[in-house]
Amino acid sequence: MKHAPLLALALAGATALATAATEALADEVNVYSYRQPELIRPLMDAFSEETGIAVNIAFLNKGMIERLAAEGARSPADVILTTDIARLNGAVEAGVTQQVESDALSANIPARFRDPEGRWFALTSRARVVFASKEAVAPGEVTTYEDLADPKWRGRICTRSGTHPYTLALVAAHIAHHGEAATRAWLEGLKANLARKPQGNDRAQVKAVWAGQCDIALGNTYYMGKMLEDPEQREWAESVNVVFPTFEGAGTHINISGMALAAHAPNREAGIRLMEFLASPEAQEIYAEVNYEYPVAPGSRPSELVAGWGSFTPDDIDLTEIARQRPAALRLVQEVDFDG
């Protein structure tokens, strides 16, 4: 099994995290997840083997917050897993999460990667990078996110829809750094530099670079790993370099995958036990390796493949500030008709 050595470590970590006898906990825990079950099942199986607690996963590709709100106190969900700070913050604002106080979570999740009131916790991070054509873009030609609005990129950029959560998070971060007026001008410049109308997912942007439709594309780091493992898409991935732009005077934009305890968790203690297990450095490394992301626990490391893409300094802006600016980001994207 690919992750067997790491799973063994995770089991040892889970043992150390045990805070109550298994007999005192429920015999199951229910997870609502935006992540596909096959990507998280190895960790859940390891947790079950250690604790005897079965993990039931409901995969949702949209509408998690709405579903939790509609279910209310009848909801079977104990833990939610999601892939974006806006979604985590949205769950908090909708009142479908609850506070968790845990020494294990505080020790393994740095303060900047968790809600101050314990209502959400990050597990992994990913960077919003530029995939640059090896043939058409010289090393060092891409520097900052602000530079993407420079006319030198006219007709050379591909990206997905401006209203997608990943794009909105980047725009929100730009607002947090520079304000709305500067961000509007930046969006107008970026739009003018597009080689085509925004469309497709992050992989489609890399395919477009490979096909010569554009020279650079915006995307999340983990898509490089997903393309490399796909025989058809490997050629797309190998046609580009991963470049880590920064905001001027700051770092590279990141987003997170994270978890929260559902507001009406029927198996609350078992849910917290699972969260503590997932937060252990060993489990985070497994989760990050499977998803080609970066674990957030102190001292944890990304996989050898991910580390091979290069190092970067993450932007240190407050993640909740990015979530707070999301409505403004959406409004600006719509006002400049970015997808038009």
CATH number for 264: 3.40.190.10
Residue 37 pLDDT level (bands cut at 50, 70, 90): confident
Q: How far is it, in rounded angstroms, from Cα 287 to Cα 271?
A: 18
Residues 203 and 324 in one domain: yes
Q: What is the pTM of this model?
A: 0.88
> Between the CA atoms of 110, 116, 122 and 127, what dihedral angle is there, to the nearest 10 degrees?
-80
Assess if residue 262 is contained within a domain.
yes
Residues 296 and 316 in one domain: no
Residues 179 and 222 in one domain: yes
Q: How far is it, in rounded angstroms, from Cα 280 to Cα 204?
A: 34
Residues 151 and 220 in one domain: yes
Assess if residue 12 is contained within a domain.
yes
| Token code pair at residue 191 | 């739009």
Whole-number pLDDT of residue 132: 98
Residues 301 and 318 in one domain: no
Residues 280 and 242 in one domain: no
> Between the CA atoms of 328, 332, 338 and 340, what dihedral angle is there, to the nearest 10 degrees?
110
Assess if residue 153 is contained within a domain.
yes
Assess if residue 340 is contained within a domain.
no
Residues 213 and 326 in one domain: yes
Residues 109 and 64 in one domain: yes
- Total domain count for the chain? 2
- The domain in which residue 317 lies consists of 127-253+311-335
Residues 78 and 133 in one domain: no
Residues 243 and 285 in one domain: no
Q: How far is it, in rounded angstroms, from Cα 161 to Cα 159?
A: 7
User: ∠ at Cα 192 (188, 198), nearest 5°?
Assistant: 95
Residues 13 and 139 in one domain: no
Q: Helices 4-17 and 281-291: crossing angle, nearest 10°?
A: 140
Assess if residue 293 is contained within a domain.
yes
pLDDT tens digit sequence for 228-256: 999 999 999 999 999 999 999 999 999 99
pLDDT tens digit sequence for 72-124: 999 999 999 998 899 999 999 999 999 999 999 999 999 999 999 999 999 99
pLDDT tens digit sequence for 133-153: 999 999 999 999 999 999 999
Assess if residue 237 is contained within a domain.
yes
Assess if residue 75 is contained within a domain.
yes
Q: How far is it, in rounded angstroms, from Cα 86 to Cα 10?
A: 29
Q: Which residue in 41, 37, 28, 30 sits closest to 2, CA to CA?
A: 41
Q: How far is it, in rounded angstroms, from Cα 140 to Cα 155?
A: 19
Residues 183 and 315 in one domain: yes
